[in-house]
Amino acid sequence: MIEDLPEIKCLPIPFCDLCGRQRAVTTTGRDRYGYPIKLLRCACGLYRNSHRPKDLMDFYGGHYRQLVSAYHQREINDQTIQGEQLEYAEWLHAFLWPRRYDEILDVGGSTGIVSQYLAQEWGAVTTVVDPCEAELNHVLGERILATAEDFEPGERTWDIALVCQTIEHLLSPVEVLRKLSRCAGALYVDAVDVETFGNKARACKIDHLWGFTDKTMRRTLGETGWQITASQKRNRHLVYLAVPI
């Protein structure tokens, strides 16, 4: 819990993104930072927060890294995250090997470190979509300042879409994954595995609007047009590679 929490305007999340149910069971009454947000469990198995930040562009452009830094009691910003993301990129390259892709779409890609590492290994080009301008300014490839929901691919296509440590943050994972199934030839996505938290209160964070299990991730991918071709569990995360059905 953090003292002097910044005030964040919130809106309720009235419906389950996966099945549309309104009714849900309350599992905890405060998030890990101290915000009075309840973690709800839908009958379909998908967890969701009772509330979410009203303006996501504003939240990720301002409060987000500040909250994470206060919680971990060390500075986490657009500079420091690059080292952590590089380690992740090396692992992801090994996970995807021997596959390689020429055009990468990195959704919620932050500084672009992960997709840039893959691009160098593969001789590929990247497009990074992120709502935080300070982080996006580090991107070497194409930059699109937008939330994943507002991002409009138009007629463009990419060989793979990466959704790295991002799916829980999305306003509507279902809407975004469905959109990606029409513009990407493959999908890499990971999710925090809520089942690894004995005390569900520790999984509840204002920025994680949704909480997945292997069952709900598989159902979400299937219902948004994706067929899983590889999967793995890693560091409390569920990871999937998929192709459009």
The residue range among 25-33, 42-50, 65-73, 128-136 that interacts with Zn ion, by the rule CB under 5 A, is 42-50
d(CA 61, CA 70): 16
Q: Does 44 bind Zn ion (CB under 5 A)?
A: yes
Nearer to Zn ion, 42 or 132 (CB): 42
Nearer to Zn ion, 113 or 177 (CB): 177
Q: Does 176 bind Zn ion (CB under 5 A)?
A: no
Q: Does 13 bind Zn ion (CB under 5 A)?
A: no
Give the position of tokens 């419906």: 15
The residue range among 37-45, 116-124, 174-182, 188-196 that interacts with Zn ion, by the rule CB under 5 A, is 37-45
Q: CB atoms < 10 A from the CB of 17, how many? A: 21
Q: Does 113 bind Zn ion (CB under 5 A)?
A: no
One of 16, 118, 128, 191 touching Zn ion (CB under 5 A): 16
Interface with Zn ion (CB under 5 A), residue total: 7
Q: How far is the CB of 216 from Zn ion (least distance, A)?
A: 8
Q: Does 18 bind Zn ion (CB under 5 A)?
A: yes
Q: Does 146 bind Zn ion (CB under 5 A)?
A: no
Q: Does 42 bind Zn ion (CB under 5 A)?
A: yes
Q: How far is the CB of 41 from Zn ion (least distance, A)?
A: 9
Q: Does 57 bind Zn ion (CB under 5 A)?
A: no
Label residue 218 exposed, middle or buried (CB < 10 Å: 0-12, 13-18, 19+). Answer: middle
Q: How far is the CB of 66 from Zn ion (least distance, A)?
A: 32
Q: How far is the CB of 160 from Zn ion (least distance, A)?
A: 28
Nearer to Zn ion, 26 or 235 (CB): 26
For the chain, the farthest-separated pair of C-alpha atoms sits apart, in whole angstroms, at 48
The answer to whether the CB of 80 falls within 8 A of the CB of 113 is no
* Residues making contact with Zn ion (CB under 5 A): 16, 18-19, 21, 42, 44, 46
